[in-house]
Chain A
Amino acid sequence: GAVVSQHPSRVICKSGTSVKIECRSLDFQATTMFWYRQFPKQSLMLMATSNEGSKATYEQGVEKDKFLINHASLTLSTLTVTSAHPEDSSFYICSAAADSGGLAQYFGPGTRLLVL
């Protein structure tokens, strides 16, 4: 149980284009989903927290207009990197929790984004 999937697993795009990453909870309803970014040899950094049907809460320093988050249903959240640039290249990981406090988070396998 508690499986979280991400799609795509890897994506390469040109600078200036937008990329959408999907995060799905496969066997439970995720009240809250979290998006993280991880640079090589660094720990996960929380970007934003999203609750189904409401606007995402972004961490300080994360541009909400650049990283658009949509949590349209209890099993799906999407992260869109708009006008991607090479510095956005990173490993993006989502996690999902069945409770609003995120007490038990289950992580997805991650999406490797490379912006050329």
Chain B
Amino acid sequence: KNQVEQSPQSLIILEGKNCTLQCNYTVSPFSNLRWYKQDTGRGPVSLTIMTFSENTKSNGRYTATLDADTKQSSLHITASQLSDSASYICVVRGDYKLSFGAGTTVTVRA
């Protein structure tokens, strides 16, 4: 069973709207959690990284939250743009290894 579960698997939103992606994890011990954006046919690009003590972190229109007690994280995209269409991957680091979620595919339509 994957230690990092993301939801939804995919979603479609209209340009300018907001959306929130979810990530639940069971990785233990916990070191940090990253959100990556992966465009089709490209490698992942880091959006945010949060450690145990951080609850929220923003990168432009992307805001990530972390609740280490419930082992949940979310990524909020504000005022979506067509270029936000991509797969968003939640990655949790334990002792030494990274555990990857399957990703949420976001499609932004005009």
Write the residues of chain A forming the contact surface with B, with a CB cutoff of 8 angstroms.
4, 6, 41-46, 91, 93, 95, 101-103, 105-110, 112
CB pair A112 B96 closer than 8 Å: no
Taking the complex as formed, is B42 at the interface, i.e. its CB lies under 8 A from any CB of chain A?
yes
CB pair A43 B96 closer than 8 Å: no
CB pair B103 A43 closer than 8 Å: yes
CB pair B42 A43 closer than 8 Å: no
Q: Secondary structure at chain B's binding surface: helix, strand, loop or mixed?
A: loop
Give A43 to B98 CA distance when docked, in angstroms. 12
List 9 A-B pairs, minimum CB-CB distance, nearest first: A107-B43, A43-B100, A109-B43, A43-B102, A110-B43, A107-B44, A44-B100, A108-B43, A93-B43
Of B42, B89, B96, which is within 8 A of A101 by CB?
Answer: B96
- Total contacting residues, chain B, CB less than 8 A: 19
Taking the complex as formed, is B1 at the interface, i.e. its CB lies under 8 A from any CB of chain A?
no
Taking the complex as formed, is B14 at the interface, i.e. its CB lies under 8 A from any CB of chain A?
no
CB pair B41 A112 closer than 8 Å: yes
- 9 additional A-B pairs beyond A4-B43, A101-B96, beta carbons within 8 Å, are A6-B43, A41-B105, A44-B44, A91-B41, A93-B43, A93-B44, A106-B46, A107-B36, A110-B41
Q: How far is the CB of B45 from chain A (nearest CB, A)?
A: 7
Give A41 to B105 CA distance when docked, in angstroms. 9
CB pair A46 B97 closer than 8 Å: yes
Contacts of B42 in A (CB 8 A): 109-110
